[in-house]
Amino acid sequence: MSKITRETGETQISLEVERGSGRGEVDTGDRFLDHMLETLARYASLDLSVQATGDLKHHLVEDVAITLGLALRVEVPDRARRYGWALVPMDEALVQAALDVGGRPYYVGRLPSSLYEHFLQSLAVNLGATLHIRVIRGRNRHHVVEAAVKAAGLSLRQALEEGGEVFSTKGAVRIDLTQESS
């Protein structure tokens, strides 16, 4: 389980996450963000607990995504399947996601909400993942964003599964971050 507390002059976040059953206990004060985090937890099969407050909606959404990405980075097993992909229909919306948790942060995608496009980008970069989101069709912003979060969640579920071998020609990448106090 990864536990992170992140505080800035703009936000205060307490977050716990681990691979599990898809249970989400979220309270950010923003009902749509809560809904998207609970959806991501369910589809990615993560047990997620988030308590967060912020001064502005943008800061809250961005900082929760940063914190979740950092926490999930620790949850990637050495022998992860590494790749995941999904195609999710939601009413008139159809969204595709492809994900690689191999430590190369990158995001490509256009959503009808710049805030949730930034959420997925911040999540991917801080997770150290490459995430491609493709909106094939959709008119309703809520449906498109929710389908994108579901597709990203299903992709993450696949990518985090334990595999039989390290899925890379370079083997497992190990990084030791040692922080010394002055």
Chunk the chain into consecutive blocks of 10 residues (it has 182) and report each block's average pLDDT, rounded to whole numbers.
97 97 97 98 98 98 98 93 97 98 97 98 98 98 98 98 70 59 64
Q: Do residues 107 and 181 make contact, with C-beta atoms less than 8 angstroms apart?
A: no
Q: How far apart are CA 32 and CA 69, in angstroms?
A: 19
Query: What pLDDT is attached to residue 178?
Result: 63
Q: How far apart are CA 95 and CA 160, in angstroms?
A: 21
Three-state secondary-structure class, residue 169? coil
Interior/surface letters 140-168, b for 16+ CB within 10 angstroms, e for the rest: eeebbbbbbbbbbbbbbbbbbeeeeeebe
Q: Do residues 59 and 115 make contact, with C-beta atoms less than 8 angstroms apart?
A: no
Q: Do residues 64 and 121 make contact, with C-beta atoms less than 8 angstroms apart?
A: no
Query: What pLDDT is attached to residue 125?
Result: 98
Q: How far apart are CA 103 and CA 124, in angstroms?
A: 10
Query: What pLDDT is attached to residue 1?
Result: 94
> Could you tell me the strand order of the sheet in which 24-27 lies?
2-7, 11-19, 46-54, 24-27
Domains along the chain with CATH numbers: 2-160 (3.30.230.40)
Query: What pLDDT is attached to residue 150?
Result: 98
Q: Report the 10 Å Cβ neighbour count for 28.
A: 22
Nearest to 61 by CA among 35, 38, 28, 39: 28
